[in-house]
Amino acid sequence: MYLNHITEAIGNTPLVKLNKVTDGLAATILAKVEYFNPGNSVKDRMAIKMIEDAEQAGLLKPGGTIIEGTSGNTGMGLALAASAKGYKCIFTLTDKQSPEKINILKAVGADVIVCPTNVAPEDPQSYYSVAKRLNQEIPNSFYPNQYDNLSNTAAHYATTGPEIWQQTEGKVTHFASGVGTGGTICGISKYLKEQNPAIKAIGLDTYGSVFKKYKETGIFDKNEIYPYKTEGIGEDILPKNVDFNLIDLFIKVTDKDGALMTRRLAKEEGLFVGWSCGTAVHGALEYAREHLTQDDVLVVLLPDHGTRYLGKIYNDDWMRAEGYLD
């Protein structure tokens, strides 16, 4: 019994009950642990789907180059899929990302270009603009654009959503997830709401991101945009994968609260996960404490693994320097 390629191991990740960090809560809180994917993150699912859909549409041909702006996890997923299919990869990242993420992408054969974080998306130096320019310059290249490529949402509609429905035997009442491109929450929410329209989708947002205010007021408020530290969630743009009708509400979580909960998940639950996982759990528990009863089953998605944050969240000196630890 063997797989023909590691990409065949994507999906069917475990759903694990949280027992300690939930102290005293009546509701059942279950974590969908996405680091079990071969690239150690949820993004493997959409990376392979974006590539296969592009091949079918004739947008990606043998010997082609995949160019993407990625905070790291999508790059890993794309690199795994590219190795299965013989494509080259070039990724643009912001200088906010962990050095681990950059080195991991290089290890799996990608070329990495680091761009400044604190420039507007339309600035020619931004990681969006650099990826777009390279796509125009390099022949036979494909720019998946995870923000606006609806194969991203479709991957979660086809796999993650059905898995959660089956693993909870249809008992899930709430689903919570951080929102970056929006593919994860919207694909899962669409599937779950089709099974049971009463299921609520809770989006976790960062301070410094536009989503929550936009959901509540319909206003794209540039004053909401300022630098923050949490990686992979919150945006200064409105990606096409974010369908606000599929997200019932947003909760903002501070960098510090997310970081501290990440460490608790590792210590108390044995879940050595990434920063946005702590953010998601912190926000989900805040909601659960206020709104949920013993009949509720909340599934919270944990996007990636702790190794990528060894120099930050799991480094006491860094945590102290950021003011997150005394």
What amino acid positions are annotated as catalytic residues? 43
274 binds ligand PMP (CB under 6 A): yes
Which H helix or E strand runs over 85?
A: helix 73-85
Q: What is the 3-state secondary structure (H, E, C) of 2-50?
A: CCCCHHHHCCCCCEEECCCCCCCCCCEEEEEEHHHCCCCECHHHHHHHH
* Cα–Cα nearest to 174, from 160, 187, 189, 159: 189
102 binds ligand PMP (CB under 6 A): no
233 binds ligand PMP (CB under 6 A): yes
180 binds ligand PMP (CB under 6 A): yes
Determine which residue in the list 183, 208, 258, 278 makes contact with ligand PMP, applying CB under 6 A: 183
Name the residue with the smallest CB distance to ligand PMP.
232
Within the chain, what is the greatest distance between any pair of CA atoms? 58
Query: Residue 266: how many CB atoms within 10 A of its CB?
Result: 18
As a whole number of angstroms, the distance between CA 205 and CA 252 comes to 5
Determine which residue in the list 22, 40, 73, 160 makes contact with ligand PMP, applying CB under 6 A: 73
Determine which residue in the list 7, 71, 145, 159 makes contact with ligand PMP, applying CB under 6 A: 71
Query: Residue 223: how many CB atoms within 10 A of its CB?
Result: 8
Q: How far is the CB of 108 from ligand PMP (least distance, A)?
A: 16
Nearer to ligand PMP, 192 or 233 (CB): 233
Determine which residue in the list 135, 184, 206, 262 makes contact with ligand PMP, applying CB under 6 A: 184
234 binds ligand PMP (CB under 6 A): no
Nearer to ligand PMP, 64 or 182 (CB): 182
Report CA dihedral (36, 38, 39, 41) to the nearest 10 degrees.
-20
Q: How far is the CB of 287 from ligand PMP (least distance, A)?
A: 17
Determine which residue in the list 92, 278, 304, 312 makes contact with ligand PMP, applying CB under 6 A: 304
Strand partners, 176: 202, 300
Q: What residue ranges bind ligand PMP (CB under 6 A)?
A: 43, 71, 73, 178-184, 231-233, 274, 276, 303-304
